[in-house]
Structures are given as structure tokens and as C-alpha cells.
């Protein structure tokens, strides 16, 4: 587990989006949320009572709230240490979710 500051500095948009009014903090979820994983839009549930990165921001002109589990952030930040493993193959959130349905 990293210090909260590393999770807060993490940018799931990879500097590809215009972001305004950004607020980021680490929270304990009070209910289940979808994880906004930086892995090509894959989603999985973050269970209730779990530490997560919570962000509110205007992204490309649209207001949003995003939760990202710390395991996905850890996996992404450790990508350089995996020596050639493909991020898409091993991400902790291997299930995709579309329209509320797990694929």
C-alpha cells in the first residue's frame, strides 16, 4: 500500500483530457461503486467499505464523479516493474461492464 499522496497524484486520464474543477481524495466507500479503471474502460465493482480514490471534475466539458480502486492504481503504477507483461492481460478488474451488465 502506497501513501495516499501517490494515489491522489495518479491521473487516470493520462493527460489526454481537458480537466477543470478537479477534487481528489481517498475515501472509504459507503456503498458499491463501479471502478473507473484506467485500463481501456474496463469496469468492476468496488465493494462497500473499501478504500478508493474518489474524484469529481469537469472532464472534456462534462461533470463527473469517479471512483478507482487502489488495486487498479497499484497495478498501473507498477506497470514498469512487470517487465513486458501487458497491462490489459493482468489488470485486477478483468471483467468489463456495459450498461450495468458484467460481461
Number of domains composing the chain:
1
Diameter of the chain measured on Cα atoms:
37
Q: What is the pLDDT along the chain (103 residues), one digit of tens a residue?
A: 789 999 999 887 766 778 889 999 999 999 999 998 766 556 788 999 999 999 999 988 999 999 999 988 888 888 766 555 554 455 656 544 444 444 4
Domain around 54: 4-85
Cell numbers at residue 89, please?
A: 492481460
pTM greater than 0.85 (yes/no)? no
- Domain membership flag for residue 53: yes
CA-nearest of 86, 87, 60 to 73 is: 87
The CA distance from 102 to 42, in Å, is: 10
- Domain membership flag for residue 95: no
Amino acid at each position: 500500500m502506497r501513501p495516499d499522496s501517490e494515489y491522489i497524484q495518479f491521473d487516470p486520464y493520462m493527460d489526454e483530457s481537458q480537466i477543470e474543477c478537479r477534487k481528489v481524495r481517498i475515501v472509504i466507500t459507503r456503498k458499491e461503486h463501479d471502478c473507473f479503471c484506467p485500463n481501456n474502460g474496463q469496469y468492476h465493482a468496488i465493494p462497500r467499505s473499501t478504500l478508493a480514490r474518489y474524484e469529481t471534475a469537469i472532464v472534456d466539458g462534462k461533470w463527473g464523479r469517479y471512483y478507482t480502486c487502489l488495486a487498479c492504481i497499484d497495478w498501473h503504477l507498477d506497470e514498469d516493474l512487470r517487465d513486458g507483461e501487458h497491462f490489459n492481460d493482468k489488470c485486477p478488474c478483468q471483467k468489463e461492464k456495459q450498461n450495468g451488465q458484467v460481461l
